[in-house]
Structure formats: C-alpha cells, structure tokens
Amino acid sequence: MDRNVKRKGRLFVISAPSGTGKTTLCRLLMDAFKGISYSVSHTTRKPREGEVQGKDYHFVSIPDFERMIHDGGLVEWAKVHDNYYGTSLAFITDSLENGRDILLDIDVQGAANIRTAYPEAVTIFIMPPSLDALKERLEKRGTDRPEVIATRLGNAVTEMARKEFYTHVIVNDCLETAKNELFSVVRSYLEP
C-alpha cells in the first residue's frame, strides 16, 4: 500500500433493543480503542440523570431538530419512543475523510439509513439473552414507568426481527463474553 494514500476511516454501527447493555458495551469499546471517535447523536428527549450535553447526546429542541432535517444536516434520523434521534452528516463525512474511525450507537431505523448511505459500514446488533431477561434489566434500571417498559419490550421484538440485516450479532448474556466478542469483531476490521 502506498504510504502517501490517506486511509479512509471505518464506520462501526451498533444497535440493540433498549436495556440490552449497548451503552455499557460502547463505553468499554471506546475505553479500549482510543482511535475510535464516538458520534454523539442529537436528540429531543430530556436528559437522564447524569447525562452531559455534548458527551452523551446533543440535546436540542424539536424545532431545532426539524430544522436540521429540513437543511439536510443529518445522515440519518428517526423518531423513537416519541423522541427524535439523529446523526450529524458533517461529523461523519469529515471524520471518515480524515481517516478517523467512528462508532455510532443508533437504533435499527437509523442503522438501515446508514447502511444505505455507507454500505461499507460494519454493523453489529446486540441481542438480549431473552425477552424475560430484557424485561428484568429494564425494570432494574428504574428509569421508566411500567407502560414505557411495555412499549420498549414491544419495540424490542420488532428490532430483534431485523438482526439479520447486520454484519455481526452478539448476544449479551454475560457482559465479559459480549465485550470480548465485540472487541474481536472491531479488531478484525482495524488490523491490517
């Protein structure tokens, strides 16, 4: 390979039903792979306790988000659980062109749009061991009312039905095992 040719960045997309451990796995991945930039999504949902503006999400108003849609500033966006979520087109384009690898933590709708725009993206779906285990995890989180948990479980069934569209599927039954499998997948795309 010609050393003067600039390496294009690699795009990793991770999706999972709410409560599957995706956020934890993404944080572990970011800690272990310092060269990967995390794409901070924009959202209209309210911050949860401990979330930081610009680190966890770019929290924006509905009119601001809709303006970004209208102006073509998002590579993908979706409305999930009555809130908008989206990914900055400029961030993705600039990062990849400058050889930076990117991690996207997005839902299945957003991942489908990313696959269309970036067919070379590495897509990874995180599965719960079962719906019962997922329900238990959501209840233990203590962040959602029972009706919200029921909605999330219903959405999980729909999301899991789309796992075959992903390059890799990892079951998070044991965090350490899922972490090792995720790291192995990512490493296989980064090593020459």
Looking at residue 192, its pLDDT comes to 67
Q: Evaluate whether residue 176 is within a structural domain.
A: yes
CATH of the domain at 131: 3.40.50.300
> 37 Cβ partners below 8 Å, 6+ apart?
95, 100, 101, 102, 103
Q: Evaluate whether residue 4 is within a structural domain.
A: no
Q: Evaluate whether residue 111 is within a structural domain.
A: yes
Looking at residue 139, its pLDDT comes to 84
Query: Distance between CA 17 and CA 65 in Å, rounded?
Result: 23
Q: What's the mean pLDDT in 104-114?
A: 90
Domain carrying residue 138: 11-190
Report which of 107, 105, 108, 106 is spatially closest to residue 162, judged by C-alpha positions: 108
Q: What's the mean pLDDT in 53-75?
A: 95
Give the end-to-end CA distance of the chain in Å, rounded to a whole number.
11
Cβ proximity of 20 and 172 under 8 Å: yes
Q: Evaluate whether residue 3 is within a structural domain.
A: no
* pLDDT tens-digit map of 149-165: 898 899 999 999 999 99
pTM: 0.86
Query: Distance between CA 155 and CA 150 in Å, rounded?
Result: 9
Alpha carbon of 80 to those of 72, 107, 119, 121, 159: distances in Å?
A: 19, 8, 23, 22, 12
Looking at residue 71, its pLDDT comes to 96
Looking at residue 83, its pLDDT comes to 92
Query: Distance between CA 75 and CA 63 in Å, rounded?
Result: 18
pLDDT > 80? residue 142: no
pLDDT > 90? residue 187: yes
Looking at residue 7, its pLDDT comes to 81
Report which of 52, 53, 76, 55 is spatially closest to residue 65, judged by C-alpha positions: 76
Task: Count up the domains in the chain and report the number.
Answer: 1
Q: Evaluate whether residue 5 is within a structural domain.
A: no
Average pLDDT, the chain: 91
CA angle 163–27–180, rounded 5-degree value: 65
pLDDT > 70? residue 11: yes
* pLDDT tens-digit map of 67-103: 999 999 999 998 877 899 999 999 999 999 999 999 9
Q: Evaluate whether residue 116 is within a structural domain.
A: yes
